[in-house]
Structure 1
Amino acid sequence: MFRSMLMATTAVSLSLMASQALAEAAKQTSDATVAEVVVTATRREERVLDVPYNISAVSGQAIDQAKVQSAAELLRTVPGVSVVDRGYRNQGVSNSIQIRGLNVDSAILGDYAISAVAPVSSYVNDTPLFANFALKDVDRVEILRGPQGTLYGSGSLGGTIRYILHAPELGEFGGKVSATASHVDGSGGVGWAGDGTINIPFGEKAALRITGSVQDYPGLTDYVNVYKLDAAGIPVAPSGVLSSAAVYETKKDADTVNIKYGRAALRVKPADWLDMTLSYARQSDDIGGRRQVTRGVDGYGRVYGKYENGSVQLEPSSREVSLTSLETTVDLGFATLTSSTSSYDHHGDSVSENTGYYAQNGWLGFYYNFPRPMASAVRTYSDRAFIEEIRLVSQTKGPIDYVVGGFYEKQKLGATQASYLRGFKRWWDAAYPAFKAEVQSDQDFAYDRHEDFTDKALFGELTYHVTDRLQVTGGVRWFDNQSKSHTFMDVPVYTSLSSPTNASFQKSDSKALYKANVSWKFGERGLAYATVSEGYRRGGANAVPTIGRYAEDARWQQYGPDRVVNYEAGLKGIRYGITYNAALFYVDWKDIQINTVTPNWGFFVAQNGGAARSQGLEAQIDGWLEGVHYSLGYTYTDAKLTENAYPPTGGTRPVALKGARLPGTAEHAVTFALDHSMTLSNGVMLTGRLNGYYQSATRNAVTTSTRLNVGLPPFQIWNASATATFDTWSATVFVKNIFNADGVTGRFTQSYMGTDPADGYYGNGAKDLITLPRTVGLTLDHPF
């Protein structure tokens, strides 16, 4: 009923707006003023059109009006950016954002903290942190393509995403409250969300801004063959522990979502030359399971339904992330001095179904094919850091501008995995009572990795204005990295195999990176530019053991940095009321870091292997046509390996082949959006929006393994909304994914994690990572 009413309301509203638009079209002109977005990507406030490289910006107002529900949905509107959509589960574990195709990792990596840092860096204000905070009270999101190490302390290979939150507003009281109800296709319930922001001034020199948000969604994925568990968390054995009989049950809408977010920011401006903001943000996620569906059949031959998952156990996750920062700006007259001091704590845990992986790798025989196998991987991750970044930005008018800065980061990373074959010890004791001491517990794998990382860097850019229209910029970043890594591993299930192993390793690296840029302003509002910039991603220590039972080859102990040289040329400007932006790029990528595992005992490691190049085109236009605002974007990305990638131990068998397309990024991607507003005779403003996204086929992985490297089909997603704005409140009806496309962005294949009834596994661990199905919702907003 709820969904039908909302879809009907949306259809009526959009139809009304279409007829009104036709009536008013003759009154509109095609040369309507184009909004000029101001960004701080270059550490100065300037229009996007004046920034001499390819940058996009999405305003917080646009995010709010479109009722964007996730970072994945947001980034699909930006040309040149792609993302693996894993849903809410474990959304803070690994950064799956890809810019210009720079990615070699499988799309299914996301359940555990990988070794290498992401090719794309992300910032929350001035703090380098991948947190996937809720998109609440956001001023704007800036997407910077290409390496940014000469402007930002935390370097990157492919680009940088900046989430810039609203600062408290001095001398102004106000705020907003909103409530949303929604229904997702496949769900048995209605989800809701509530948000609120209040800005409280204290005179003219201080203000406090507080934001809070709660999101509660019932889930849509049915776990249809979950073991019924006893009080000890072990599958029930109705006919006795030695029998193969089991009891299964169904958990409907298992992937429940509960997210709580809050932020408080205090801004003090005691004098015109001094501005300080102290803020604290915190978010907690509790997720009931995967928004990932199983295709095929279970061990009994039953075909899985549309939103069903074949796991034999539930797979919850939880996390907490907090960020404290102090941002200080001092106006020195000739320059602006900015200091950003911050610390964060990001940690989480999850349970993953691994029984299908055991079955497909023949490991269940290692446990004598005991009945009712349920392999659980209990994982944790942690990321804690203290960061200081200080910058000096010139203000005076003259032929030379400069930005210089220093960066310091002290980071502690952690990742653990405890794997269990639930009930194995109980079964062993009953089956082999004379050998009880041989099996110690259900735990068959223990892994613990810790890394201490210190980064010190100096960076800056110098711009010479040759004329009023021609300028040349040079940039440099020098850094010094120090890392220490320690790993513990054991296989404690069998007494004869248990051999606790520890390994430590440390390394350092320092280097200078460079950037050169030239830009020329032509006509009234046009800019042409060309850039060559270097990007760098730090190496690290894998710290695998080289002696003892679980020894690996010493060449796995560390991995080196990888580097890119980014070449870019572009045009941007406004012509006949149309804002345009187009860039050609070519990226040369060397010593690529590939996240993988060691061949003997499965240590999580990164390795260097091969080279790649990515080349293509990013283009976007934005304008008005008879009163309708439109935007259209297109991206062509040709990203391939240019040489074979081999394991660090050498050999003649490559892990990835020259010519293989890099995974996760489509060759062709198109974005499209329309919106139109009108005021009715009763003073009510009506606004309608339509946007679409298309991507061509992608690859799941780059390796030679046919169990991982499979093709993923193309898909398109269309969204629509209509907003009625009254004096003091507004109502928005929206439909996400109108045509209910699957939008598969990753796949656990049957040969990798499928069913295996011959070994007693009747579930199915294969699954597709799908985008959010059709969602219909209603939001009420009340600003004050």
Structure 2
Amino acid sequence: MRKFAHEFAGRSTIMAVLLGTTALAGGAFTPAYAQDEQADSRRETITVTATRREESVSDVPYNISAVGGGDIERGNIIDEAELLRSIPGIAVVDRGARNSGTLNAARIRGLAVDGNGLGDYAVSSVASVSTYINDTPVFAGFTLRDLDRVEVLRGPQGTLYGSGSLGGTIRYITRDPDFGEVNGYISGTTSNVEGSEDWGYGLDGVLNVPLGERAALRLVGSFGDYPGITDYVNVYELDGNGVPVAPGGVLDPAASYRSVEDADTVETWMGRATFLWEPTDTFSLRLVHARQSDDVGGRRQQTVGVDGFGNAYGDYENGSIQLEPSSRDINMSSLEMEMDLGFATLTSSTSHYDHNGDSASENTGFYAQAGWLGLYYNYPRPMATAIRTYADEAVVQEIRLVTDDGGNFDYVVGGFYRQQQMESTQQSYLVGFKQWWDAWIPFAAGAVTGDQDWDYRRIENFTETALFGELTWHASDDLDLTLGARYFNNESDNDTFMALPLWAGLFPEVNADLSSSENDVLFKFNMAWRFSDEDMLYGTISEGYRRGGSNAVPLTGVFAEDPRWQFYTSDSVVNYEIGFKGDRGDFRYDVSVFYVDWTDPQFNTASTWWGFFAVQNASEASSMGLEASIDGFIGNDWHYSLGYAYINAELGADFHAPDRPAPAAPIALEGAMLPGTPEHQLNWSLDYTTQLANWSSFTRLDGYYQSETTNAVSTSPTFNVPIDGFSIWNLTTTFSRDAVDLSFWVKNITNEEGITGIFTEAYMGTAPAEGYFGNANKQMISLPRTIGATLRYNF
């Protein structure tokens, strides 16, 4: 069951089967509680607010997909990787539960330059895909419970959604309370994952309580406890001080090892409360508070090859010489108010969130492959540990005015403000080094201060102010023309501290404080022509951007770097897109082609001499492709969906380090395939509904395929290695009667590894000549074959 823990990121309940991973063209299946009701509900149009107006998916004049909350609940689509794999044009680097809250794993239309191995720490550059919880821009990796819908907007969304929406925007919309009735559900799940002898479980519950005729409260709770699947087979035995045991004495090279089975456990708690008050027909107030806590025991990542003794690693075995746990907490509160002014709706959204986490990582393999163990830290039983933390806290305010439909012109105007503080730290330790040094050279004991060899802290204060608007001209009953713009002004202050405290007085501490600012205007043009009652031709030219900042690398002293490393600029894209979409009741389709021109793409890398965390801009990149999806019904019993995406994303020019311009060797070459995005993706599903006596039955088979990808854009074979394509198949059956749903399901039927990222042997492998007999190379694997059952009672 161990694997369930990671892929599901501890998302506790596996409630109704994973019925609907594939929600293409804005629609998904809806398993039945009663067959007649199901036939109607599966044809129900999902209403979205991506344009800041309520519209059906088929009426939105650009490429959008939506998954309804009912489908998410009944299908138990509770993991972002599983959800996003169902949508053409979106790739996911599946890191499992351990790093699910650190970095956004979604990559839309190939707009990503960073290597797939990133994720252990929070990088300086923001993600290329923005995520929202209701109207709050935050990446939090919340458990997907009791949602009204998830909207996925493909392509840059800079005018309405601002920074970080280069590739697109993902919106998680929570469900509102119901007036007038008490309702809810309780659900329990048990499951077992290939590679684990144990079973995991999850519990979920929702309670809706009316508070008079015009107010209600909705409470959501979720708990998941799952054993891991990954065995850490080379873990040092530690003494009472946390130092590797020296069975033959401190100066003897021998060590004691143990194996920890199913180390990557996951425990997750999530709670949410929503209060809705509508005192009049023209005013509403919505107050939401959500909290989640995750505790993860280790990586769902396996090592390949052999350890330093020549022993081969098996499936689901990790060669780290230490355990690598993580934890995180997220609190988010929002207050949304709406006033109907007659001609328009005025909306105010005020929110605050506080997201923080920590993890322990083994860096011994990196030290060994870099030669540091042999040159600087040549001691027995080496154990290089990195303790990392991240924190992200912000206050966000948005006000917008949206006119009602009816005239020749409609508009959206608004203002946006965000005050954000982000902090990341790394404390690195050579565990046991001081003990060994004092025993080896007792007369020079004062030369080494302790085990800590690296101290890093980065605090950034960021302020964003923006004005935005879109004006739509209804040129005729069939033709709409929209022009949008967003003005933004950003200011950031970066305070960075760095030190190497291990050697007493040898290396001075470094403090750097840099400020930067930027402002610009983004534009968007959209045309929508409804050439029949069921079909639309749309075209869009849109811009997106991602804010710049500073790296604060030292410019003087022992650790001096070139000043050209100090700053990185914002990057931007221009998207050209044309598509067709239609809705004929039992059949929906959406086909689009696009070309994205990417200027100054940001690349999270490291400085030339000392390897400080830094972001730099490449010159250019591009992405072009096709996205297509169909979704339909054959009679009342059969439902199908099929999606395909072709994406060709590549670097447009050689990328050089700022202090190593041509003719020096580049970091990456023109034409290099951008990492993590396959050239071909397929999504498919087929489900069947029938009646069995007093029970309705729903059976679904669905799958996903992606072609070969690359691990990194770098010219170095240490990072840039190919990753094989893979396919994942799932099967589920649900029986429903009255208020009870019973589901049996199998995920990843063929037990495909589904690798999406790699730490290579050359980067973090074994080095027995330097005393390192573990092996820290890793493959990021998908959730192995998982079988489970879910029982749900609705009231």
Tell me the TM-score range normalised by the shorter chain: over 0.9
In the TM superposition, 1:107-256 aligns within 5 A as 107-154=116-163, 156-256=165-265
Rounded Cα–Cα distance in structure 2 between residues aligned with 1:147 and 1:521? 23
Rounded Cα–Cα distance in structure 2 between residues aligned with 1:378 and 1:718? 37
- For 1:388, give the aligned amino acid: Q
Rounded Cα–Cα distance in structure 2 between residues aligned with 1:752 and 1:356? 7
Rounded Cα–Cα distance in structure 2 between residues aligned with 1:613 and 1:77? 24
Rounded Cα–Cα distance in structure 1 between residues aligned with 2:434 and 2:471? 66
CA contact (8 A) 1:153 1:406 kept: no
Unaligned 5+ segments in structure 1 are 4-9, 11-26
**Offset at 1:32?**
11
2:31 aligned residue: none
Rounded Cα–Cα distance in structure 1 between residues aligned with 2:614 and 2:517? 18
- Residue 635 in structure 1 maps to residue 651 in structure 2: no
**Offset at 1:603?**
1.4
1:289 aligned residue: 298
CA contact (8 A) 2:2 2:196 kept: no
Rounded Cα–Cα distance in structure 2 between residues aligned with 1:214 and 1:706? 42
Q: Residue 758 of structure 1: SS of its match in structure 2? A: helix
Give a deviation string over 1:693-732, Cα, whole Å, max 9, x none: 0000000000111100000000000111111111121111
CA contact (8 A) 1:633 1:671 kept: yes
**Offset at 1:678?**
1.5
CA contact (8 A) 2:255 2:381 kept: yes
Size of the aligned set, in residue pairs, is 762
Structure 2 CA distance for partners of 1:522 and 1:117, relative to 1, 3 Å: same
Rounded Cα–Cα distance in structure 2 between residues aligned with 1:93 and 1:302? 33
In structure 2, which of residues 467, 470, 474 is the aligned counterpart of residue 458 of structure 1? 467
- For 2:673, give the aligned amino acid: R
1:99 aligned residue: 108
Segments ≥4 residues shifted beyond 4 Å: 30-33
- Residue 70 in structure 1 maps to residue 76 in structure 2: no
Q: Residue 70 of structure 2: SS of its match in structure 1? A: helix
1:667 aligned residue: 679
Rounded Cα–Cα distance in structure 2 between residues aligned with 1:405 and 1:42? 13
**Offset at 1:651?**
2.2
Rounded Cα–Cα distance in structure 2 between residues aligned with 1:379 and 1:604? 13
**Offset at 1:34?**
3.4
In the TM superposition, 1:383-422 aligns within 5 A as 383-422=392-431
- Residue 678 in structure 1 maps to residue 675 in structure 2: no
Q: Residue 159 of structure 2: SS of its match in structure 1? A: coil
Give a deviation string over 1:437-482, Cα, whole Å, max 9, x none: 1111100111110100000000110000010000100000000000
**Offset at 1:496?**
4.2
Unaligned 5+ segments in structure 2 are 4-16, 18-35
Give a deviation string over 1:174-225, Cα, whole Å, max 9, x none: 0011000000100121000000000000111100000000010000000001
Q: Residue 437 of structure 2: SS of its match in structure 1? A: helix
Rounded Cα–Cα distance in structure 2 between residues aligned with 1:493 and 1:282? 39
Q: Residue 446 of structure 2: SS of its match in structure 1? A: helix
**Offset at 1:624?**
1.2
In the TM superposition, 1:378-777 aligns within 5 A as 378-575=387-584, 577-626=586-635, 627-652=637-662, 653-681=665-693, 683-777=694-788
- Residue 354 in structure 1 maps to residue 363 in structure 2: yes
Residue identity over aligned pairs, in percent, reads 56
CA contact (8 A) 1:33 1:577 kept: no
Rounded Cα–Cα distance in structure 2 between residues aligned with 1:166 and 1:473? 30
Structure 2 CA distance for partners of 1:133 and 1:343, relative to 1, 3 Å: same
Deviates more, 1:563-572 or 1:497-506: 497-506
- For 1:327, give the aligned amino acid: E
Rounded Cα–Cα distance in structure 1 between residues aligned with 2:181 and 2:519? 48
CA contact (8 A) 1:237 1:246 kept: yes
- For 2:702, give the aligned amino acid: N
TM-score by length of 2: 0.94
Structure 2 CA distance for partners of 1:740 and 1:667, relative to 1, 3 Å: same
Rounded Cα–Cα distance in structure 2 between residues aligned with 1:122 and 1:32? 28
**Offset at 1:650?**
3.8
Q: Residue 430 of structure 1: SS of its match in structure 2? A: helix
Give a deviation string over 1:79-117, Cα, whole Å, max 9, x none: 111110000002111112100000000000000110100
Q: Residue 647 of structure 2: SS of its match in structure 1? A: strand
CA contact (8 A) 1:31 1:576 kept: no
In structure 2, which of residues 309, 324, 327 is the aligned counterpart of residue 300 of structure 1? 309
Rounded Cα–Cα distance in structure 1 between residues aligned with 2:476 and 2:503? 76
Rounded Cα–Cα distance in structure 2 between residues aligned with 1:728 and 1:565? 50
Structure 2 CA distance for partners of 1:154 and 1:612, relative to 1, 3 Å: closer
Rounded Cα–Cα distance in structure 2 between residues aligned with 1:2 and 1:134? 18
Rounded Cα–Cα distance in structure 1 between residues aligned with 2:344 and 2:73? 35
Rounded Cα–Cα distance in structure 1 between residues aligned with 2:564 and 2:321? 38
TM-score by length of 1: 0.95
Give a deviation string over 1:557-600, Cα, whole Å, max 9, x none: 11001010001100000348321001101000011100011122
